[in-house]
Amino acid sequence: MAALILEISTRGLHRYQQINEEITTVGRALDNDIILSDPTVAPHHLKIIRHGDDSLEIVNLTDVNPTRVDHQKLASLVTRDLPVCLEIGRIEARILPRNFAVAATRPLAGRDRRGHLFGHASWSVALVLACLLVSGLDFYLGSYTSFKWGDLFKIVLRETVLTIGAFVLVLAVLERLLVNRWEIRQLVTSVCLVYLCHYLAANAADGLDYLFSASWPTTLFQFGWYLVVIPAAIALYLVNISHLKPGRSAILALLISSPIAVPAIMQSPALYALLDDFSSTARYHNNLSPFNLHLGQTVTIDRFIAQAQNLEAGEFAD
Amino acid sequence: MLFRFLLAGLLLAGSYAAQAAALDSKKIYQLNEDRVFQVRVLNRETGKKSSIGSGFIVGDGSRIATNYHVIGQVILEPDVFYISYIGKDGEEGELKMLGLDVAHDLALLGADKRIGEPIRMSELPPRGAPIFAMGNPLDLGLTIAVGTNGGILNQTDDSRILFSGSLNPGMSGGPTFNDRGEVIGINVATARNDISFIVPSRFLMELIERSADGAFDADADLKLEVARQVLAYENSYIEQLLRNEWPDLDLRKFRLPGAVSPTVRCWDNSAKLSASARYRRFQIRCTNKNHVYLDEDNNFVGKLIYEYFWLESDELNAFQFYKLYENLNKDQIETKMDRDIVSNFNCATWFVEVSSQELKSNLCRREYVEYQGMSDVLFTAALTGHSDKGFFITLIMTGVDYEATLPLIRKFLEHSEWRP
């Protein structure tokens, strides 16, 4: 009879035990052939018996957290069909044939490829410098009084380095918990890319607001950024860098992004307008642009007054 | 000789008569203490006072004049409150409304019987003459305050007399006497420190005359009547503004309308900048003073505010300049109001050519829930197309007919001239 493998899954990681003997016992006690240290596993949880006719018998040995096969409680089961999915306490396991096909090898993100964004530490450094540059530029554009280098360093250190550092730290800890690895370089690269994209997209949305004399570009950006772009970026990271499955990555991405998205969206005037149908503030397009690019036609005073006569009354809130 | 003797005798008699006619505060108080009442708004359920003011007998002896703001609560909630009077001796009775003059803050009330002798009314005495205000301050009992006539205030469309004396809450609606014991006005407001305001008696006389036909329906929805009166007053005010010759006011490259009416005052409102600021900003704010009391929730309407803002810099680049310019271009109507009082704003944007310059203009309006046809209007217009110069106008009007404000906005824009 061909050898079998017991695949034991813990926190997304798998370990494998060969089942070579005719009878293999599984449990928490140290006299078992396969020892599982989880407290939900009984000292003697189950035994796996290999018969001469290539059939396999699984026998439950415990009344507390009894063994389940394909989500069904069982006393014993004889089968020839592999793989067999088991629940041993809260541990998930599968009995696989030795020739069970494994997934294709995933390439390491950009390892040994200097052109790949995640491939080399120099990219991380370059992106961190780009973030500092953007942050410094933003500070410079907002310096209406004489420029002070000391203030620049303070703001760049406080707002940019701390922001990027905090996100990298939190995500690194999460990654360590999820896949038992540290991938700091890839995280720095990812967080910096998101930071830069946010700056560019926010400015682009502002420019589009002016172009269309409308507020939908900024509204779209605010909702799209936090509800779509950030979760998608995290999910892509988890699939491609952490090598998690797409479904699991999507759920994790939503969970990870929600602490960022919820406060940001709650502070957005657009959401406020959706949740509360009344505002005592006049929401008019006060944005101005040095480029002065707009699709709205420039009208005479007469035409403006004629069109203003058609301005409808404000809507009463409920 | 005989003629001179007679003339001297006549002069002496005239002088004596004049001295005899001049009453002091004690005498005026004694003559009128039975004719000045406390006017109270009472809750129908509890029978307790919700607000108090003063009033006095006019007309045929069954009518009491007071301020509109004293009894305004009854108009908002007629099912909850009613009006009553109480005299010096505790005599009391219910009053019903016979007429309103919201613009001048007056109300005419009627008792179901004659309650005393009406007080005679008269025109304003000369500036500086002593005048006497009677009323019930802070529910402490009837009193009289002595002061002098400061004359008609031209900054309030002639509807207020400056009284250099002390008015206190509860005295609103009480009479102000000349030294012959005739009513020359009605107590209405105070700015503290012996600066108080009186409504001239001629507006009350007009109200009594208007109400004589008995056409006023106190059981109808009086909010409609209030809105009608406010809008008529504001429309007339705007028409007067449009008829006026507007003086010029220069602000850097723009020649603009100055104080468009004697009711408007313009002040420099430029913020003090730090020495390290790399830009200059100048701000002029013009406001009117003849506001109209509407009700407890809305307080005053009829505000006209216009503000000019100029920004320039030789040191900031275009991106820095516009970041600052945009941050400053966010004027709002300052009063915060609830959904029960006003609608949301509806705004629209235009790029308008004004004196060869392009202004990004926003016009917003919101309506009053309870007062049909009344709107608040916010107009802003910001100069575009210059990398080192910024300018915007903000024009705010409250409690007005939206359509009536458009000619005023037009005149503002047409009167604005770019001077390169």
Neighbours of B261 (CB within 10 A): 19
**Residues shown for chain B:** 420
pTM: 0.81
What are the angstrom distances between the C-alpha of B183 and each of A226, A250, A309, B128? 69, 82, 46, 16
Q: Above 80 in pLDDT, residue B44?
A: yes
For range B189-199, the mean pLDDT = 90
Cβ contact B353–A313 (<8 Å): no
Q: Above 50 in pLDDT, residue B190?
A: yes
Q: Above 60 in pLDDT, residue A291?
A: yes
| B156-186 pLDDT per residue, tens | 776 789 999 999 889 999 999 999 999 999 9
The residue of chain A nearest to residue B328, with distances taken between CA atoms, is A286
Cβ contact A313–B343 (<8 Å): yes
What part of A 188-217 touches B (C-beta under 8 Å)? 213
| B244-299 pLDDT per residue, tens | 999 999 999 999 999 999 889 999 989 888 888 999 999 999 999 878 998 887 67
Q: B8 pLDDT band (50/70/90 cuts)? A: very low
Of B320, B335, B345, the CB nearest to A141: B320
Sort residue B139 into left (φ over 0), alpha (ψ -120 to 50) or beta.
left
The secondary element (H helix, E strand) that includes residue A5 is strand A4-10
Q: A271 pLDDT band (50/70/90 cuts)? A: confident
Query: Which of B370, B200, B383, B202 lies closest to B296 in space, CA to CA?
Result: B370
Of B336, B351, B406, the CB nearest to A296: B351
Place of tokens 């490259």: B253
ipTM above 0.90, yes or no: no
| A217-242 pLDDT per residue, tens | 998 998 899 999 999 999 998 888 88
Cβ contact B353–A143 (<8 Å): no
Q: Who's near B45: CB < 8 A, 6+ residues apart?
A: B80
Q: Above 60 in pLDDT, residue B18?
A: no
Q: B20 pLDDT band (50/70/90 cuts)? A: very low
Cβ contact B346–A298 (<8 Å): no
Cβ contact A301–B384 (<8 Å): no
**Distance between B370 CA and the closest CA of chain A, angstroms:** 11
Chain A contact set for B333 (CB, 8 A)? 282
What part of A 115-144 touches B (C-beta under 8 Å)? 140-144
Cβ contact B278–A144 (<8 Å): yes
| B108-130 pLDDT per residue, tens | 999 999 999 999 999 999 999 99
Chain B contact set for A287 (CB, 8 A)? 326
For range B315-338, the mean pLDDT = 90
pLDDT at A199: 93
Q: Who's near A202: CB < 8 A, 6+ residues apart?
A: A221
Tell whether A315 is within 8 A of chain B (Cβ).
yes
pLDDT at B117: 93
Q: Above 90 in pLDDT, residue A147?
A: no
Q: Which of A88-97, A142-151, A245-254, A298-307 has the highest mean pLDDT?
A: A298-307
For range A6-26, the mean pLDDT = 86
Of B323, B332, B365, the CB nearest to A142: B323
pLDDT at A317: 87
- Report residue A85 as tokens: 């999915």
Cβ contact A285–B279 (<8 Å): no
Q: What is the mean pLDDT of chain A?
A: 88
Q: B11 pLDDT band (50/70/90 cuts)? A: very low
pLDDT at A112: 57
Burial state string for B153-163 with b = 16 or more CB within 10 A and e = fewer than 16: beebbebbbbb
- Report residue A47 as tokens: 């035994």
Of A143, A146, A289, the CB nearest to B322: A289
Q: B324 pLDDT band (50/70/90 cuts)? A: very high
pLDDT at A159: 82
pLDDT at A110: 61
- Dihedral pair phi/psi, residue B384, rounded to 5°: -120, 170
Tell whether B344 is within 8 A of chain A (Cβ).
yes
Q: B86 pLDDT band (50/70/90 cuts)? A: very high
Chain B contact set for A313 (CB, 8 A)? 343, 346, 365, 367, 375, 402
**Distance between B394 CA and the closest CA of chain A, angstroms:** 12
Query: Which of B380, B265, B404 lies closest to B326 in space, CA to CA?
Result: B380
Residue by residue, DSSP assigns B120-173 as PB-----TT-EEEEEE-GGGS--EEEEEEEEEE-GGGTT--EEEES---TT-TT
Q: B7 pLDDT band (50/70/90 cuts)? A: very low
Q: Above 50 in pLDDT, residue B13?
A: no
Q: What is the mean pLDDT of chain B?
A: 90
Q: Above 70 in pLDDT, residue A180?
A: yes
Tell whether B402 is within 8 A of chain A (Cβ).
yes
Residue percentage of chain A with pLDDT more than 70: 96
